[in-house]
Structure 1
Amino acid sequence: MILSLFLDKVGHHLSAWRHPGAAMEQAFTLAYNTRLAQAAEAARFDLVFLADALTLLPENNAAYTTSFQLDPIVLLSALMAGTRRVGLAATVSTTYTDPYHVARKFASLDLLSEGRAAWNVVTSMRESEARNFNLAQSLPHELRYARAQEFVEVVRKLWDSWTQDSFLIDRTSGVLADEAGIRPIHHRGDFFSVEGALNVPRRSQAHPVLVQAGASGVGKAFAARNADLVFASVPDIDAARTFTQELKQAARAAGRDPARLKVLPGFIPIVGRTLAEAREKKEALDALLLPTAAVRYLSQWLEVDLTPLDPQAPVPDEVFDIDRIKGQKGRFQNILRIAKAERLSLGALASRVAATRTHSSIVGTGETIALEMERWVAAGACDGFNILPPTLPDGFDDFAREVVPVLQQRGTFRRDYTATTLRGHLGLPDR
């Protein structure tokens, strides 16, 4: 199975920063982040992943750390020097950047890392992001994805503007690069006008890996057409199976081989040497969660201020009007599914989302967690997992020590790398 480590400061539980073992004081240091990337590589993970947002969220307060972000390209460039094999995935928006910038950054990262770069394509949806980039409001959902489609097409043209053998370095003839193999792209489209060519020499025939995480109808169509790897947010195996089947059918309809589209649901493991120990870890984390912070966090996902509402009452039905949602419609639908299926109060729903971000979570021993992961893959629910440790570094250390060896012993995860590039790890062709 494919395994990705989602790096997010000191962990993915909203209260992780309050945990006694959390190194929040070191979270923005290179040494700390290098240690995490090296731990992922030591566990033979396929890649490490960094999300991003281009705003300091208005909900930010002393208990809300998720909006504090280092630039992921800068951080991955540094982590590249401390690792040799693990893939390096960064989030960059298509709404607030230009194709030439993005093509150049990822071509550079891929060249310097010898084939380990991946771009997580996002369209950005927050109103505060728009206001940080000279816009009065964010672009409509459909328009963002239309722009993103052309954006990706331009980036691919730029990556292809050099042939593989055009960087000759022929000292005898005095020819450094074959001009015939460097072609301006002359792109003229609805959103972009780009002359090209790229000014970064090409490493090989391969492109950097494209990652996507959209779960709305238009988001899934975009992923089916473009992505090599999809990060999914699903609360259980049935939702994962449905998501994966729909996505791979859409890829086939788009003329792609579905086997070349890999789906990784987010997965939050709380690992103990015994079940009792794992449960104690979860209870300790949940006890640190401030109810007001959880409600503010849920407000972000539902795009409405929930703080005036009674936390003991159900969330009003009018809050779950998907037509008003400009942002992550797929995550919104997950929250609705959980709220309705379990009839949760506002406070209980907020606590659930704060602990899991609507991803699947399991509390157990290394063996029980490994067996559950194998069950998902065997059922066709996914190709692997994007691991979101509730705490870092301890939560990942637990996973690497207790879960990975079980997977290796059972033959469902590699004992050592057999490839040098991220495409090689994922079993993807060069093109």
Structure 2
Amino acid sequence: MSVLIELAVGDPRADTRHVSLADAETIAEIAQELGAKGLRLVDRADGRIALDPSVVGSSLAGRYGGLAYAIDAPTTRNAPYNLARRVLSFDRATERGVGLVLRPGTGDEVSDAVAPDPQPTEPAERWSEYVDILTALWESFPREALLGDQEAAVVADDARIRPINHDGRFYRVAGPLDGPASAQGRPAVLVADTAALGWERVAAVADAVIVDEADIAGADGALTAAMEAAGRSRADVALLARIDGSGDPVRLQQWASESGVDGFVLAPTGDPASIVDVVRRVVPALAPSTRTPLRVALRRPESTEVGA
């Protein structure tokens, strides 16, 4: 069972849900030692902006390479090409360890300047188009295209590198990316906004779905039905319950089995000492993970193939 620890890294004086980078390092070290799959780094908590999760994750990954990193980013102020490049670079550096929790929002000044529709207002539709662009970009430079043939003076086989030439309602993106795909094929896509996006959109693209504990009832059934409608297997997507971790670990395991939950996102509140206490008490009891690609670890046990 995969367990992620949710952290907002920022100014701890501004809000009790924000921890300093030094405290995040302590929590990461303990989480890695106890077998947590990784960290979910959010870009805000309780309405307060946190440090950029991709920057924080890159810093932590240099010391705690046994952890995976799921980083939150909204469509707002993030041009698809820039975000795709940043996340994929991080994923390659960590060797299979990065996922993106893409949040629906508005546009960015780079994309809006050339948007086919200058007045789009549907965040869910924008999100769907954005995910399609990310996936296409992450696959635009296959790993096998990188040759590194010094004798022939050939860096890459450009015949295998494909521009995506996307021209949609919200975005125009030519591509391709300027670096090869990662070892896990592409970064994992996690979704945490099912109410805003709808199960149909989620089921089409997600590698994992994060649902708050209060909304978990019926989520497995809704996800299963949506996956079948999308022509995908429920085994291909992990359902992660976001909890504060204050409950009894044994009861959490039983509840997970009854609810169809495949893993947890622990989002403990309080000071760093309280967060460490939750990690020490809960993580060892919830099936510590192994060093597997994030997209594999997020799937159910019967599904282990890594796609492109």
| Residue in 1 that maps onto 2:115 | none
1:195 alignment counterpart: 174
Which of 214, 220, 230 is matched with 1:254 structurally?
230
| Secondary structure of the corresponding residue to residue 403 of structure 1 | helix
Partner residue of 2:287 out of 408, 413, 419 = 413
**For the residues of structure 1 that align with 2:230 and 2:249, how far apart are their CA atoms?**
34
Match of 1:180 in 2: 159
Q: Distance in 1 between matches of 2:275 and 2:63?
A: 18
1:105-131: CA deviation from partner (whole Å, max 9, x where unpaired) = 111010111111110010137xxx999
The aligned amino acid for 1:215 is T
Per-residue CA distance 1:48-102 (angstroms, 9 max, x = gap): 011225xxxxxxxxxx975041111111111110111211111111233221111
Any conservation in 1 of the 2:9–2:51 contact (CA below 8 Å)?
no
Deviations 1:250-272 (A, max 9, x none): 112111111111111211133xx
Q: Gapped runs of 5+ residues in structure 2?
A: 113-118
| TM-score, normalisation: structure 2 | 0.86
In structure 2, the residue matched to 1:50 is 41
Native 8 Å contact 2:105 2:127 kept in 1:
no
Shift of residue 392 of structure 1?
4.0
Bigger mean CA deviation after superposition, 90-99 or 224-233: 90-99
| Paired position in structure 1 for 2:202 | 223
TM-score (norm 1): 0.63
Distance 2:163 2:194 in 1: 35
Corresponding residue for residue 4 of structure 1: 4
Partner Cα separation in structure 2 for residue 130 and residue 113 of structure 1: 28
The answer on 1:115 being equivalent to 2:96 is: yes
AA aligned to 2:240 is L
Q: Deviations over 1:370-429 (max 9, x none)?
A: 121111222134112110112242223223333334x2xxxx503x62x34222432453
Q: What is the DSSP-based 3-state SS (H/G/I as helix, E as strand, rest coil) of the residue aligned with 1:389?
A: coil
User: Between the two proteins, what is the percent identity of the paired residues?
Assistant: 26
Query: Are residues 1:388 and 2:253 paired?
Result: no
Bigger radius of gyration, 1 or 2? 1
Large movers: runs of 4+ above 3 Å: 9-12, 14-17
In the alignment, is the contact (CA less than 8 A) between 2:184 and 2:295 conserved in 1? no
Q: Deviations over 1:313-362 (max 9, x none)?
A: xxxxxxxxxxxxxxxxxxxxxxxxxxxxxxxxxxxxxxxxxxxxxxxxx3
Alignment of 1:49-198 (within 5 A): 49-53=40-44, 66-124=47-105, 140=121, 143-198=122-177
The residue correspondences of 1:253-292 to structure 2 (distance < 5 A) are 253-270=229-246
CA contact (8 A) 1:11 1:390 kept: no
Separation in 2, partners of 1:37, 1:5: 9
CA distance in 1, matches of 2:143, 2:232: 24
Q: Is the 8 A contact 1:207 1:430 kept in 2?
A: no
| Counterpart for residue 397 of structure 1 | 276
**Which of the pair is proportionally richer in strand?**
2
Letter in 2 for 1:5: I
* Number of residue equivalences: 296
Instruction: Please give the secondary structure, in 2, of the residue aligned with 1:157.
Output: helix
CA distance in 2, matches of 1:240, 1:92: 23
Tell me by how many angstroms 1:9 deviates. 4.5
Distance 2:61 2:238 in 1: 23
- 1:9/1:179 Cα in 2 relative to 1: closer, same or farther (>3 Å)? closer
